[in-house]
Amino acid sequence: MGIPDRLAERMSMAEQHEWLMSQRPSRRSVFRAGALGAGALLAGPSLLGSAASAGTGPTLATTNSTADGASVAPFARHLAFGADPRRQIRIGWQVPTPVRRPFIRIGTDPSDLSGRIPAEVRPLHSEVPGAAGPVDQYYLHVELDGLRPDTTYYYGVGHKGYEPASAAGAISTVHTAPQRGRWDVEPFTFTAFGDQGVSPHALANDGVVAQQNPAFHLLLGDIAYADPSGQGRPVSATGANGTDIFNPTIWDSYLGQIEAVASRVPWMVATGNHDMEALYSPEGYGGQIARWDFPGNGPKACPSVYSFIYGNVGVISLDANDVSNEIPANLGYSKGSQTSWLKSRLKFLRRQPDVDFIVVFFHHCTYSTTNAHASEGGVRAEWVPLFDAYRVDLVLNGHNHIYERSDPLRGGSPSKAVPIGGTVHPDTDGTTYLSVGGGGRSLYSFPAPDSYAGHVNDAASVNTYSWTGVGVKTPEVVTWSRVRYTGYSFVAVDVTPARLGQPATLTVRAVAESGAELDRVTLVRTAGLCTVGSRGVSDAKADFDAA
């Protein structure tokens, strides 16, 4: 029951969803919105007492009979930071069938997990046109607030009849971010890739990422590929009549695949074109809201837009579907609120005296030369002036299934060539842009030869293009494509805060699925020196705790 092509072309994602829903025999909510009050205040010695007194949790709002809880094993545990990674952790997981009274047990001592916190249930009901039948998925979530900074917590997930403490391998850990302040932050590493999907390469990348022991992982959009068409069109099981193919059960495989890492490393997600799923309102993001715990401090219209501070790094997640000329299903859906929010957030971060680096991540590439998608002109027009104005240090994108690094750019022009092993001073040199889409999905190609560590093959210029309007590809000849690698890969970013007499450094290492290093570049900032913003301590004091 897809939307006719001639109609779909003129409809936004929201309109497509409305149309699709109107064709169904009875309209029902696929996402029960609103928190059920599962958050609990956990602080200091009262942690276990507070948790234990939180009472029993809600049962699933379903008329299905529940199975014997002992026979139902939770799976797909995945973590996220809240807006304040020092004190807020979100834990999500899944059960294959309805259960009663889902909960987590948590504590700082693995031998004493008597603290029990009820879970919020987010059932997701999917009726895909052309599919054999409906699919029901049961996502469970707990929001933990008031945690201690820089502390390891042990947790297990369960429900009536299933105790995690008695299940082998069911206890995992999560570590909160360090207290803010220049002297409280030790060096740390975070990782990133996009375009993962479910594949042996995706699994291998998870393994190499885990070896980096990252403080958190950034997923740069195109997450599971339950919608392998990725056009944001109405969906069907077969892709007939110009629809996007959609199979919601791919998410079960994906979330199961990442569990080994994501159950102990916060998995911070941005949305790509394959993550617009027209079956779910609003804007194709209702499924993502059911599956993930987004920090929720971005513009109201954009669930996957948010920001957090970890140590001396301010991180911002954006939704480039809002500005994409190439795949315009959600073009303009935030009505400008995302860009306004980005500006205010960049201003805020630059005022923080302890934030040295700003890292922005989103899906569509600002600067890439692949034959497949190349560069998104909508991003350049809407956001690059802000990246320039606020001296953003590093931008991480996916979408192109390769690894590529630009020379530092300001106003679209490179300031200098930075070879592998080189150094960038972002405040004067400009922003470094990475395309890191080799997370596991099938690979793309470049018009120029690959050039990476041990295989340097500099190209004086590359003929490529940018999506400067809807359906408009404008050719360009560029000199900023410094490193290119056609292969499965990710980046590990090693951050060292400033110390007496020593600047802060952020070293990007691109790593192949095999573990081999492909690229390395170090960004350097001297503490307190930035050509924008006001970084005086008194000025920022009021903002400090609000971050």
Q: Which residues bind Fe ion (CB under 5 A)?
A: 195, 222, 272-273, 399
Alpha-carbon 127 to chain mean position: 26
CA distance 199 to 210: 17
Containing H/E element for 400? Answer: none
Q: In angstroms, give the least distance from the CB of 444 to Fe ion.
A: 9
In the bound complex, what is the minimum distance in angstroms from residue 431's beta carbon to Fe ion?
21
Q: Which is nearer to Fe ion, 232 or 286 (CB)?
A: 232
Query: Minimum CB separation from Fe ion for residue 324, in Å?
Result: 9
Smallest distance from Fe ion to CB 445, Å? 14
Cα–Cα distance, 376 to 270 (Å, whole number): 16
Residue 315 sits at φ, ψ, to 5 deg, of: -115, 135
Are the beta carbons of 229 and 244 closer than 8 angstroms?
yes
- Helix H, strand E, coil C: the string for 505-539 is EEEEEEEECCCCEEEEEEEEECCCCCCCCCCCHHH
- Tell the residue number behind the tokens 């993930």, with chain if given: 292
* Comparison of 360 and 443: residue with beta carbon closer to Fe ion: 443
**Between 159 and 373, whose beta carbon lies closer to Fe ion?**
373
Taking the least distance from each CB to Fe ion, the nearer of 151 and 231 is 231
Q: Decide if 380 contacts 387 (C-beta within 8 A).
A: no
Closest approach of Fe ion to the CB of residue 528, in Å: 39
Based on CB atoms, which residue is closest to Fe ion, 156 or 438?
Answer: 438
Report whether 397 contacts 364 (CB < 8 A): yes
**What DSSP letter does each residue of 322-351 carry, written as one string?**
GG-SSSGGGTTTTTTHHHHHHHHHHHHHHT
Least CB distance from residue 262 to Fe ion, whole Å?
19
Specify whether the CB–CB gap between 144 and 39 falls below 8 A: yes
Q: Which is nearer to Fe ion, 48 or 268 (CB)?
A: 268
User: Is 93 or 403 the residue whose CB approaches Fe ion more closely?
Assistant: 403
Integer angstrom CA distances of residue 346 from 205, 267, 306, 468, 528: 31, 22, 12, 25, 16
- 501 contact partners, CB below 8 Å, separation of at least 6: none
CB-nearer residue toward Fe ion: 180 or 274: 274
- What is the closest distance, in whole angstroms, from the C-beta atom of residue 94 to Fe ion in the complex? 24
Minimum gap (Å) between residue 199 Cβ and Fe ion = 12
